[in-house]
Structure 1
Amino acid sequence: MSEYYDEEFGELGLVIGDFNIPQRAADLPPQFKDLLVPNKVQYVFCTGNVGNRETADWLKTLSGNTHFVKGDFDEVKEVPETKVVQIGSWKMVMVHGHQLVPFGDEESQYTFLKEMEGDVLITGHTGVAKVTAVEKKYIINPGSATGGFNGQQTSIPSFLILEFKKEKLQVFIYTLDGEVKIDKQELPLQK
């Protein structure tokens, strides 16, 4: 029965970042705070630019398995620039994204992911939620959790939920544009 359960219902991960609280936004939208409650996800992946200790502490309440990387505005010394997390068959590589020049460029992101020998790159910095397949790898960006100004524009608040299965990764893209909308993509594991 557990084999069926594992394949049918995978572990969940929250991918979130670019809060910039209080620098560019007062708080996470209340609609998101209502959805993001403790013990609903097994993992939290934060792409950086959290902004304050309260927000980082709140993220840690969502899962006992919380992973952070440092954004270009984060000043916390103990947070790494990059991180690799293995979840089942999936090797997840995390980086904020300002280090990859030009930032937001799929070619530089893919090159970095390939060098790290990962399956999925979790990156932020652009403020725009995006899921991209390049070769046999994936680049996912949760966008900005608050929709805070990213230096070029105000973005739509967003985050991602990942459902890890043995041979595929379900990605649920949550956006707040008047109301919460959810889009779904399925990413097959390709080794």
Structure 2
Amino acid sequence: MLLLALSDAHIPDREKDVPAKFKKLLSVPDKISQVVLLGNCTKSLSFLQFVNGISTNVVIVRGEFDNGTIATTKKSHEDIPINTIIKQGNFRIGCCNGYTVVPKSDPLSLLTLARQLDVDIVLWGGTHNVEAYTLEGKFFINPGSCTGAFSTDWVVQDRDLVSENSTEAKGDNAQEDEKQEKGQSAQPQQDHEQDGKTASATENEDNVSQESPVQPGDASADPANDGKDSSDDDSDIDPADINGGCVPSFCLLDIQGSTCTLYIYTYVDQEVKVDKVVYRKDT
């Protein structure tokens, strides 16, 4: 059977919708048996309708930004649990958003939760970063954010501010080096021959500095630059490394008996990429 894990949609607060290519992949009727929403997915009616179109068997756990209740076909106000356990094949699967795990997403803390719930697989969200690993025979899966919504856990820094701070730090270091050089030149020399060498070296340095002064920001100061503008280096930095990722992703679990085949879907450069991980339960 196929189990779909979605998390951290944050619609409409942070993102408008799931990527269209994800929707096309998931809009195949009667293929997915169950959907698990791992938090921060309940504020958009259109998103919930889309999920119900995938499968009517939907399990929801509460995220950090979810309300405590949700309207269902059975009740007008049904409580959303923080943790829940589902059974598929020979597996017990624990589900949570992870914001109650301290430290957040810490492997040992998640392992403790897995032992408390007595489960084989832990599905958790809250980090917006897709992960999959095994620890002491248990399988831990984080599907990331299905919309690529930003996370408030990441610190977003302005490049200009970082550059200014770096320049100021270099200036302070240069002043300290200059003070140290002055202090060393003020000390009495013990060897007359060493005085001659020092004076000669000083004259050579003065001649070099007069012949080829280096100005701040001069491209020639860095041989590796070859006259290239420093702004060219910024083009090599992946925006995902600056703004904290924002890569849409979800996970699909194919469970057959004691074998779980995990498919990790990510949306990168307008294309869907798939990775596969196989986990077998110890019998």
Question: What RMSD over aligned residues (CA atoms) do the two structures have, in Å?
Answer: 1.1
Quote the residue 1:34 is aligned against.
24
Is residue 2:96 matched to residue 1:105?
no
Which digits, 9 at most, give the CA deviation of each residue in 1:136-187, with x for residues without a partner? 1011000000110011124210000100011210000000001100000000
What TM-score comes out, normalization by structure 2 length?
0.62
3-state DSSP of counterpart to 1:109 = helix
CA contact (8 A) 1:15 1:47 kept: yes
The residue that corresponds to 1:184 in the other structure is: 276
Partner residue of 1:49? 40
Structure 2 unmatched ranges of 5 or more: 70-78, 155-243
The correspondence for 1:175, drawn from 230, 245, 266, is: 266
Question: Which residue does 1:16 correspond to in 2?
Answer: 6
User: TM-score when scaled to structure 1?
Assistant: 0.91
Alpha carbons 2:86, 2:93 under 8 Å: kept: yes
Deviations 1:44-86 (A, max 9, x none): 1110101323212321221121111010001141211111001
- The whole-number CA distance in structure 2 between the counterparts of 1:118 and 1:148 is 29
In terms of Rg, which structure is larger? 2
- Give the aligned partner of residue 63 of structure 2: 71
The question of 1:147 aligning with 2:238 is answered no
* Alignment partners' CA distance in 2, 1:138 and 1:126: 17
Give the count of matched residue pairs: 181
* Partner SS, residue 107 of structure 1: helix
Residue 84 of structure 2 corresponds to residue 83 of structure 1: yes
One-letter amino acid of the structure 2 residue matched with residue 58 of structure 1: F
Q: Quick one: distance in 2 between partners of 1:25 and 1:56?
A: 15
2-structure distance, mates of 1:86, 1:172: 19
Q: Distance in 2 between matches of 1:190 and 1:66?
A: 28
Letter in structure 2 aligned against 1:46: L
Secondary structure class of the residue paired with 2:3: strand
Q: Which has the larger share of helix?
A: 2
Residues 80 and 57 (structure 1), Cα distance of their counterparts in 2 relative to 1, 3 Å cut = farther
2-side partners of 1:127 and 1:62: how far apart?
22
Moved more, 36-45 or 84-93: 36-45
On the 8 A contact 1:22/1:52 being kept in 2, the answer is yes
